[in-house]
Structure 1
């Protein structure tokens, strides 16, 4: 199989997992050629790590997203933020690059979703929505195609993860409290970088306006727990996922990249 060129936007912990997979041989059909981060030093670190393992073609760190897009990579992994996705997604798709994204919250905006869909359709590119810290997209999507259904998404978090958000208050450090109830569209507006998985589950089922979302803060809780329930006349599916760290999100990107090139797809 022809090697596919790959670039990364957002060079934090999750990007390092992708590089680890490349360096260990788990992504043999990809060549990482570019990295971009708002903090240039982070992009330089990613480029240095991967260049050491593929000296035949160095990875370049870029100071602007336009410089990275000029490479026209086959795939761009986005591990930054919904705002970053909005900045480059449509130009990238029109430029011939497909996207593997974790910032699915950007697509809660129905009008923007349609713009992305059109850009990908007209330019023979695709946007791959990775599962992140959850799973079960296959069964969720299947139920929604099969018949009318309802869906709910409940998340439990440590209060520290809610700092610098409108709902945080010091009492959360000692008191368990449901800090938000609404739909997925309202949730991503309130927490732009913390509930991408809720929007992902909503897009697989009933849509951001109809996915019921609740977020509970629990003192001393470690990690995240997501409980997704999809009900129809014939099926009741329940997914309960606990993750101690965010590493599963990075590895879900690796799994998606492998599925793109694998003759057998999970």
Structure 2
């Protein structure tokens, strides 16, 4: 298979997992040709690592998204934020680059989602949604295609990731509290960095306006626990996932990239 060119947008801890995978030989079908981050130094550090890796090669640290697009990569791995995805996705798709993204919250807006679909279709490009910290997209998609269904998404987390959000109250440092109840659109508006996974589950099933989301804060809780439930007349499925760290999200990007080029995809 012809080697695919890949660029990385967002050079933080999760994106570094893609570099680990490259170094371990887990991405043999890709050549990483460009990096971009809000902090140029981070992009340069990534590019230096890629150039020094036994499985790497020439890689350019870009000063702007336009510089990255000018490289015309086959794929762009977006591992930054919903705002970054919104800024990147339309010009990238028009440029001939497909997107692999973790920041699915950027597609919670129905009008923007339809624009992305239309742009990808017109330019024969695609947006690949990585599973992030959850799973079960296959059963969610299948049941929602089969018949009418309802979906709920319940998250448990500690107070720390909620401290800079509108729902924070000192009481959650010492008491268990449900801090949010609403739909996935409302959730991503309040928590743009904490509940991307709920939007992903919603887009795979009944839509962001229809998926009921709840967030419970537990004192001293480490990590995140997600429970996704879908119920129809014939099927009732529950998906429970606990992750101590966010590393699974970074590795889901690696898995998605491998599936794109694999002769057998999971």
**Normalization by structure 1: what TM-score?**
0.99
* Whole-angstrom CA distance in 2 between matches of 1:220 and 1:84: 31
- 1:164 paired residue number: 164
Q: Is the 8 A contact 2:25 2:55 kept in 1?
A: no
Root-mean-square deviation (CA, aligned residues, Å) is 0.9
Ranges in structure 1 where 5+ consecutive residues have no aligned partner: none
**Which residue of 1 is the match for residue 83 of structure 2?**
83
Query: Matches of 1:34 and 1:43 in 2, distance apart?
Result: 9
Give, in whole Å, the separation in 1 of the partners of 2:225 and 2:39. 30
Superposition map of 1:88-237 within 5 A:
88-237=88-237
Counterpart secondary structure, 1:22:
helix
In the alignment, is the contact (CA less than 8 A) between 2:50 and 2:56 conserved in 1?
A: no
Deviations 1:105-138 (A, max 9, x none): 0111000001100110000000001100000100
Alpha-carbon spacing, 1:99–1:56, altered in 2? closer, same or farther (3 Å): closer
Measured against aligned partners, the alpha-carbon deviations of 1:171-208 in whole angstroms (never above 9, x if no partner) come to 11101100000000000000011100000000011100
Q: Name the SS for the 2:206 alignment partner.
A: coil
CA deviation after TM superposition for structure 1 residue 55, in Å: 8.0
**Aligned-pair distance for 1:11?**
0.5
Counterpart-to-counterpart distance in 2, 1:91 and 1:146: 34
- What's 1:21 paired with? 21
With over 3 angstroms needed to count, the CA separation of the structure-2 counterparts of 1:69 and 1:145, relative to structure 1, is: same
1:57 Cα offset (Å): 3.3
Alignment deviations for residues 140-186 of structure 1 (CA, whole Å, 9 cap, x no partner): 10000000000000000110011111011211110110000000000
Counterpart secondary structure, 2:135: coil
Q: Distance in 2 between matches of 1:235 and 1:55?
A: 45
Aligned residues: 266
User: How far apart, in 2, do the equivalents of 1:101 and 1:19 lie?
Assistant: 16
- Shift >6 Å, 4+ stretches: none
